[in-house]
Amino acid sequence: MLTGATSLDLVRDELFVSVTGVEELLQQFLEERHNGSLLQQAIEGLQQLRGTLNLIELDGAALLLEEMIALATDIPVHEGEGRNAPLSTLCNSLFLLQRYLHLCRQQGRERPELLLPVINELRSHRPDMQPLPESHFYPLDPYRMPAALRDGARQPLDPRTFARLRQMYQLGLLGMIRDERPGAGISLMQRALQRWETRLDDRAATLCWIASASLEAVERVPLQLTGERKRLYSRLDRQIKRLVAGGTESDDTARLRRDLLYLVALADSRCVLCEEVRRAVNLPDPGYTEAALQHDFASLRGPGADVMRSVAEALHEEINAIKDLLDLLARNAGDAEQSLETLDVSLQRLWKTLGMLDMTSVSEQIRRAAELLDGWRAGDQGVLEQVADAVLHAELTVTRMESEGEGAAVFAEDQQPAPVELKEAHIVLVEESQAGLALARRAVTAYIESGNDRMHLLNVPATLETVRGGLIFLGMTRAADIIRTASRFIREAMLEQQKVPGVQQLEILADALTSIEFYLESAERSSVNTGDVLALAEDSLAELGYTVGA
């Protein structure tokens, strides 16, 4: 027996007729709230739909129907306008169900993850119902996965260091939550997690390792930072605090691990740490990528493919007619005055239609081309060529819209501000400072890996002095003082006195440099309290015995 998306053709017509019938009953109940039989008939129709979807094993759609039935059953008949919101959600869910069934049939497979937002919206109207996580349909049982896959530390982490690293993580988390470009916050969070991984016990180290991999996926794929995903990393902060305080493995810990692993599963081969986690855990392949998932979300909620195809066909007819008129004018054939008048009307209709579709750049180009025709005289080929270029550009855009079948908003172009020389110089200086800090961190890493070969550190003080000069020019004097203190530690303790610092001291130095990198990323946008980041770097250097400003 055929099941799933492949069997939709057998019951498609009956399904859509049933969905339309239930939708009409709910709309009628909205108008006749005293008629409880209408709501009861709608519930019976939903139950019939659920039975059909269960029969052909469309699990996501069947779960959606279960939530709709539960919500409809909870709606009292004589409660006035107080239940309009749940009823509207039910009607919207039926619309999305139809779009989802169309999508399943087109793709030949089910993608139940696409229904989670509307399922959670239905659950939000019922008391004490928690939203389903985005990993709900991911085939991974967190309770069968070992909780300790990494070898952590055997000695407890001292409270002061844990507090400092937790502050580092929380500052990065704030940057990720508030900032439109969360890369700096993610780097700071990864740094804290990597330090925790080597200083906490096996369970907490494993959780930090998985979380680091998920952040790598967020940054490199990249994964869209939804509200749910941001809350996921807030949960991680609380779980690590609980585990460090001696808490035991709980259901919340297992669910958190599963949700993080789902993000790892969405990564690709560019994410090295994700590949390591995927092999160690033997993660199942979700069968889709983040880009494919977001594309399907847009297709589900945007105009249907049939609608976009119809719009594109009408626009192609208009454009072809315009090209014929341009050809007549170029050859000076027929009644030039009549052709010019018809062309002007057609161009106005075209740019207004493109404007309504949010294709602002192409629409404006067509509008300017139409204005050029006001002063046109026979034989003026230059004006006709400019109009033809604009029309061809519009034709290419319409063809792309037709082939991709997405909403017109996809084609809207962002308005970029004009370049300013001073701003460009500022950006270049920040980038050069970041490159210098990265070079210094790599040199410290090479020093560690080479068995404390001082040759790797010879150029680091000069590099940091260059960075310090750039920071002074940018007006970041406090950060410049921190860089000077870090440079002094390397020059005096590691080069002149030829002391071999311990691993812990080198990690603290790297913490300070990482904090300054984060400061450079976020100071201009004020996404977090940058003073806290600088204080974190100053505390790190103070642990090395080098007080900033001394």
Tokens 């945007």 appear where? 302
Q: Where residue 193 falls among pLDDT bands split at 50, 70, 90?
A: very high
pTM of the model: 0.69
Please state the domain extents for the chain: 4-124, 142-281, 306-411, 421-543
Tens of pLDDT along 465-490?
999 998 888 888 888 999 999 999 99
Q: Determine the average pLDDT of the residues in 65-90.
A: 82
**Domain 421-543 top-level CATH class:** mainly alpha
298 token code pair? 């847009």
Asked if 260 and 232 count as a contact pair (C-beta separation under 8 A), the reply is yes
pLDDT recorded at residue 392: 85
Q: Which of 263, 350, 344 lies closest to 312 in space, CA to CA?
A: 350
pLDDT score, position 47: 93
Q: What percent of the chain has pLDDT over 70?
A: 89
Q: Which fold has domain 4-124?
A: Four Helix Bundle (Hemerythrin (Met), subunit A) (1.20.120)
Distance CA 515, CA 530 (A): 10
Residue 192 has pLDDT above 90, yes or no: yes
Mean pLDDT within 394-398: 82
Q: pLDDT confidence of 307, banded at 50, 70, 90?
A: low
**Does the pLDDT at position 418 exceed 60?**
no
In this structure, are residues 94 and 88 in contact, taking their beta carbons and an 8 Å threshold? no
d(CA 196, CA 214): 16
Phi, psi of 446 (to 5 degrees): -65, -35
pLDDT for the residue 402: 65
Task: Establish whether the linkage from the previous residue to 222 is cis, with ω within 30° of 0.
Answer: yes
33 closest CA partner among 82, 78, 85, 87: 78
CATH of domain 142-281: 1.20.120
How do residues 81-127 score in pLDDT, each as one tens digit? 667 788 888 988 998 998 888 888 777 778 899 999 999 999 999 98
Lowest mean pLDDT among 153-162, 170-179, 220-229, 520-529: 520-529
Check if the beta carbon of residue 514 is closer than 8 Å to that of residue 505: no
Pick from 138, 30, 58, 108: nearest CA to 66: 58
Q: Alpha-carbon distance 259 to 378, whole Å?
A: 68
Label residue 287 left, alpha or beta by phi (over 0 means left) and psi (-120 to 50 means alpha): left
CA distance 162 to 192: 9
Name the residue with higher pLDDT: 198 or 396. Answer: 198
- Residue 505 is predicted with a pLDDT of 86
User: What DSSP string runs through 392-455?
Assistant: HHHHHHHHHHHHH---GGGGPPP-PPPP-HHHHHHHHHHHHHHHHHHHHHHHHHHHHHTTS-GG
For position 420, what pLDDT does the model report?
A: 39
Q: Which two tokens stand for residue 38?
A: 């209408």
Provide the mean pLDDT of the chain: 83
SS3 assignment, position 194: helix
Q: Does the pLDDT of residue 78 top 80, yes or no?
A: no
Distance CA 41, CA 26 (A): 9
Give the count of beta carbons closer than 10 Å to the beta carbon of residue 415: 7
Distance of CA 420 to the CA centre of its chain: 30
Q: What pLDDT is stored for residue 155 in this prediction?
A: 81
CA angle 33, 35, 41 (to 5 degrees): 110
70 versus 2: the higher-pLDDT residue is: 70
Distance CA 297, CA 290 (A): 11
Distance CA 530, CA 471 (A): 15
Residues found in the chain: 550
Q: What is the rounded average pLDDT of the residues 538-545? A: 88
Mean pLDDT to the nearest integer, 521-547: 74
Amino acid (1-letter code) at residue 440: A
Q: Which of 13, 101, 29, 107 is nearest to 65 (CA)?
A: 101
Decide if pLDDT at 357 tops 80: no
Contact 118, 92 (CB under 8 A): yes
Amino acid type, 52: T
Q: Return the structure tokens found at 224.
A: 């869209």
64 in Cβ contact with 115 (< 8 Å): yes
Q: Do domains 4-124 and 421-543 have the same CATH topology?
A: yes
Query: What would the pLDDT profile of 429-471 be if each residue is shown by its tens digit?
Result: 888 888 899 898 888 888 888 888 888 888 999 999 999 998 8
Per-residue confidence (pLDDT) for residue 336, from 0 to 100: 77
Q: How confident is the model at residue 550 (pLDDT cuts 50, 70, 90)?
A: low
Separation between Cα atoms, residue 5 and residue 406, nearest integer Å: 22
pLDDT at 304 (0 to 100): 56
What are the helix (H) ranges across 125-182? 159-178
336 vs 247, which has greater pLDDT?
247
Q: CA-to-CA distance for 451 and 446, rounded, in angstroms?
A: 9
* Mean pLDDT in residue range 334-345: 82
Coil, strand, or helix at residue 200? coil
Region 355-368 average pLDDT: 83
What integer pLDDT is reported at residue 406 of this predicted model? Answer: 41
Burial of 90 (0-12, 13-18, 19+ CB in 10 A): buried
Rounded Cα distance between 175 and 521, Å, is: 10
355, 397 Cβ separation under 8 angstroms: no
Of 330, 221, 219, 215, nearest to 261 (Cα)? 215
